[in-house]
Structure 1
């Protein structure tokens, strides 16, 4: 683990130039503390050190990234600006250089808790694209993130299929409308419907490929292991 911010960013730059990795995640910008600040006295005023560090590092990193196939993801944190009456009082750490150099910026906010009885399983999460140089910005998505698992894929498919009328709802009961027009009962309640989908991967694959076709995305294929098991 790097001892200070300059060391961490030098490692990132070296990995990019090595072409040995495809993805680098820096967690987080707020933890990239400049060496001068670490070696200084506690309570000593250090103005703009981190912002200058990020600005200098990103000038080097951005040029090297453009010559490689590596993607660099910086995870940042928000802080509250003091004395702001109008506008958004939130700001991100590390100055403004990262905002300018970034190709894509995502704002991730935690929503309400996902519970099973009294047990919290995860959180509803809202992701907003606040900047995008490669596609239309300002779009928003809501996903469920389950602790120890990540994004709940089956639940996302269920929600999207429901919004695209591939799943029909009658009261508390849900049914999937297959490509041949027949209805496949998913059960009573959304939780049971999602669980049914998990237990039937072929149904999930068909549903996802229909959605991918609708949105002009590449189709998924059955994994080789699954084909071997079927044969």
Structure 2
């Protein structure tokens, strides 16, 4: 501070001089020209059409929100993100905050989550959620934290009061505290070179009596909306196949819309089908994306016929037929993730930022 006061007494003070003082007092991470981060790493979901639209997945080191009506694949998307995070960053811890007390470890394992390495928290009231999430964001080995869901948060005061007592802003108050606590925790983590990812899951509610405009609102108010780098709105639909099962849906058809994004994305809307019942060689949590992957590789010149029309050359490797590549794409998770990420990286590199929407086209 003494150096700053001395600097300010000079006849002329440049912004560069002042920035240098702040960097010396508070560390170089306090600020820089242009910022050090151009495009953050992503946490993929393994659902390629969704990852493609998101520009690779959920941004690491930032906050994202998934919301929609019941049974719209919100929790499944978050669990897929955890599964891929465990695969790509095995040394980092993953936390699932089960506010709704609905976590099913058997289903999570089917989606690829290693539940033995997953920390599952089941707090009794909202204040516990805020304190525990803030605490984990300050740990050195935290990778991803998922809160399911903001709409289920209940403050201690509401739990202690009679059901007859009206509680004003019962959800918004703890959610506001959550945002205020996690924002500086994420900022501090970034300064220390860590990139913990925070994902909020939320539901939808409806304004009463709305005739014009969008009647949908998210419980907890707008605070998470402003904090989030990505807002993902999902719509789910069950798909039946009587050849496989007459009682259980085999697919979840999901349409998504990006309501807000503060990072490069490749599409503001799209759809995908996630397998919910193993069939035709597909496992639960996978997405039938072979045609999409092969078409992009062909467009990039990485999917061609071999010499004299025999076999195929895909990404520089020779295959006698297409079936071995297709099988490897789904069974070898690291290989499949690598191929899909190559496509996304190529599109991001060759595209240009749109001035209006901030998307890659």
TM-score above 0.5: yes
Count residues in correspondence: 197
1:212 aligned partner: 342
Higher strand share: 1
Conservation of the 8 A alpha-carbon contact between 1:114 and 1:124: no
Q: In the TM superposition, what are the counterparts of 1:99-178 in structure 2 within 5 Å?
A: 99-117=225-243, 118=246, 119-136=248-265, 139-147=268-276, 150-153=284-287, 155-162=288-295, 164=296, 166=298, 178=303
Conservation of the 8 A alpha-carbon contact between 2:290 and 2:326: no
Which of residues 159, 162, 168 in structure 2 aligns to 1:41? Answer: 162
Which of residues 60, 85, 107 in structure 1 aligns to 2:211? Answer: 85
Conservation of the 8 A alpha-carbon contact between 2:205 and 2:218: yes
Conservation of the 8 A alpha-carbon contact between 1:129 and 1:137: no
**Partner of 1:88: helix, strand, or coil?**
coil
**Deviation sequence 1:30-82 (CA, Å, 0-9, x none):** 11111111111113211113212211221121111122221111100011211
Task: Give 1:97 shift.
Answer: 0.6
2:201 paired with 1:75? yes
2:68 aligned partner: none
Q: Which stretch shifts more, 103-112 or 26-35?
A: 103-112
TM superposition score normalised by structure 2: 0.47
**Partner of 2:180: helix, strand, or coil?**
helix
**Partner of 1:15: helix, strand, or coil?**
helix
Task: Give 1:180 shift.
Answer: 2.4
2:172 aligned partner: 51
Task: Give 1:12 shift.
Answer: 0.3
Task: Give 1:26 shift.
Answer: 0.4
1:201 aligned partner: 328
Task: Give 1:126 shift.
Answer: 1.3
2:300 paired with 1:179? no
In structure 2, list runs of 5 or more residues that go unmatched.
1-121, 190-194, 278-282, 312-322, 349-361
Conservation of the 8 A alpha-carbon contact between 2:258 and 2:269: yes
TM superposition score normalised by structure 1: 0.71
Conservation of the 8 A alpha-carbon contact between 1:105 and 1:130: yes
1:31 aligned partner: 152
CA 1:113–1:103: 2 relative to 1, 3 Å:
same
Q: Which stretch shifts more, 88-97 or 115-124?
A: 115-124
CA 1:142–1:51: 2 relative to 1, 3 Å:
same
Q: Which of the pair has the greater relative contact order for Cα pairs under 8 Å at 6+ separation?
A: 2
CA 1:147–1:127: 2 relative to 1, 3 Å:
same
Conservation of the 8 A alpha-carbon contact between 2:297 and 2:343: no
**Partner of 2:165: helix, strand, or coil?**
coil
Task: Give 1:5 shift.
Answer: 0.6
Conservation of the 8 A alpha-carbon contact between 2:254 and 2:271: yes
CA 1:179–1:198: 2 relative to 1, 3 Å:
closer
Query: How far apart, in 2, do the equivalents of 1:198 and 1:18 lie?
Result: 40
1:226 aligned partner: none
Query: How far apart, in 2, do the equivalents of 1:83 and 1:34 lie?
Result: 28
